[in-house]
């Protein structure tokens, strides 16, 4: 039996990949249908294992460096809002030599790319392996402020201990610079993360309005697929409001036929005005389909980005505050025990500890909804911190099991449990 938290995430002891696993050359295994994140290396397989049992594994390149630098980020300054950060960002300056269509979009892709490409960065993610900084994966990111806030995917950075960001500066001296970055916050449910580098006067992208998109609009994906820095692919908006991720808080996605490949994860999907309308995060890989790429809509991402910058986590999510073993009915019938969520531990710092729930109790329902056949994380997704729920609990006694109703107050999920 495996242990879970109430988000249905299996509880495992954190561990870093073994070195021999990283250095082995592994052929890509593609099943009939699989979905993969656009990150390079093992991090790029995150979404594959999340939605399907099929996995696509990329070759991994290693680099070692015994020095383990930590970025010097000033944490004493007031936390800016996303509006504050974007207030300093202006749309690409009009140039009399640049031609525009009648609706204000760029007439030529080359001009759009020249205006926005410096806002796309190249991210190296490293782990601490036996005291050495070891390259683990690579991906892309979008600069959203002149002073160095960068949006990327959670699956690009989630396994990392150290992050470096390569920034192109064609608008100024034409030189690229590499910075150590601090992880400000990440969220697995929405697959978004924010990094920060200490820099000034960067070329930041303008965040557009994804609600104004129409199927058939031109779009442009810019990122670093397979380490090919600042690669551009052009396509159209193939679909809107796609729900392609199984996470309960997954944001709606834009479907595009622009080429998306491993390493594009965290890069920008731009409209014809040079505005970011999505954060590229996945594609379908299938022998029966092609040109099915997806990006998180920027309008849905804005609130997540705001919370990650200001709090380090996404606020407003309810948390019960337990770990449990899920006992299926088949197993319960075989061994004569209750089916449901058998409580393994209770967080003493949260409100659940004052509810009367005990370790060893088996929760069968929350507010009348079965947790045996239903998804407890989906039940909690409809709740807010501070809400009171009624737990139907089976408690073992000296002679027989008895069923009780327990009132429990939900806490806020700060991402630390």
Which are the catalytic amino acids?
A: 155, 191, 265
Three-state SS annotation for the chain: CCEEECCCCECCCCCCCCHHHHHCCCCCCCCCEEEEECCEEHHHHHHHHHHCCCCCCCCCCCCEECCCCCCCCCCCCCCCCHHHHHHCCCCCCCCCCCCECCCCCECCHHHHHHHHHHHEEEEEEEEEECCEEEEEEEEEEEECCCCCEEEECHHHHCCCCEEEEEECCCCCCCCCEEEEEEEEEEECCCCEEEEEECCCCCCCCEECCHHHCCCCCEEEEEECHHHCCCEEEEEEEEEEEECCCCCCCCCCEEEECCCCCCCCCCCEEECCCCEEEEEEEEEEEECCECCCEEEEEHHHHHHHHHHHHHCCCCCCCEECCEEEEEECHHHHHHHCCCCEEEEEEECCCCHHHHCCCCCCCEEEEECCEECCCCCHHHHHHCCCCCCEEEEEEEEECCCCEEEEEEEEECEECCCCC
Short-list 3, 25, 49, CA closest to 246: 49
Whether the Cβ atoms of residue 215 and residue 28 lie closer than 8 Å to each other = no
Contacts of 411 (CB under 8 A, 6+ apart): 318, 319, 320, 321, 347, 350, 351, 352, 385
Strand partners, 56: none
């Amino acid at each position: 039996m495996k242990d879970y938290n109430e988000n249905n995430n299996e509880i495992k002891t954190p561990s870093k990949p073994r070195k021999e696993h990283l250095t082995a050359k592994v052929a890509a295994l593609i099943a009939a249908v699989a979905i993969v994140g656009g990150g390079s290396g093992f991090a790029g397989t995150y979404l594959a294992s999340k939605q399907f049992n099929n996995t696509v594994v990329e070759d991994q390149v290693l680099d070692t460096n015994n020095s383990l630098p930590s970025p010097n980020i000033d944490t004493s300054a007031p936390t800016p809002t996303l509006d504050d950060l974007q207030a300093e960002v202006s749309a690409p300056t009009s140039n009399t030599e640049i031609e525009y269509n009648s609706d204000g979009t760029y007439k030529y892709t080359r001009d759009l790319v020249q205006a926005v490409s410096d806002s796309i960065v190249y991210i190296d993610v490293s782990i601490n392996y036996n005291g050495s900084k070891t390259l683990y994966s690579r991906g892309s990111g979008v600069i959203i402020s002149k002073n160095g806030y960068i949006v990327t995917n959670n699956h690009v950075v989630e396994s990392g201990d150290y992050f470096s960001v390569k920034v192109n500066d064609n608008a100024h001296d034409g030189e690229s610079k590499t910075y150590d970055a601090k992880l400000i916050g990440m969220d697995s449910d929405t697959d978004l993360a924010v990094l920060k580098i200490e820099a000034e006067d960067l070329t930041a992208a303008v965040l557009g309005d994804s609600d104004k998109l129409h199927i058939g609009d031109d779009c442009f994906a810019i990122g670093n697929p397979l380490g090919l820095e600042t690669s551009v692919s052009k396509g159209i908006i193939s679909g809107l409001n796609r729900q392609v991720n199984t996470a309960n808080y997954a944001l709606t996605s834009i479907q595009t036929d622009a080429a998306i490949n491993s390493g594009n994860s965290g890069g920008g999907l731009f409209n014809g005005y040079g505005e970011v309308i999505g954060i590229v995060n996945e594609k379908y890989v299938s022998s029966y389909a092609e040109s099915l790429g997806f990006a998180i809509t920027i309008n849905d991402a804005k609130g997540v980005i705001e919370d990650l910058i200001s709090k380090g986590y996404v606020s407003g999510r309810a948390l019960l505050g337990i770990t449990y073993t899920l006992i299926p009915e088949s197993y319960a019938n075989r061994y004569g025990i209750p089916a449901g969520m058998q409580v393994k531990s209770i967080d003493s710092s949260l409100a659940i500890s004052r509810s009367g729930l005990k370790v060893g109790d088996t929760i069968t329902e929350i507010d009348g909804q079965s947790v045996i056949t239903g998804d407890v994380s989906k039940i909690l997704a409809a709740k807010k911190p501070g809400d009171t729920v009624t737990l139907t609990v089976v408690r073992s006694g000296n002679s027989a099991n008895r069923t009780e109703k327990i009132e429990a107050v939900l806490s806020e999920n700060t991402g630390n449990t």
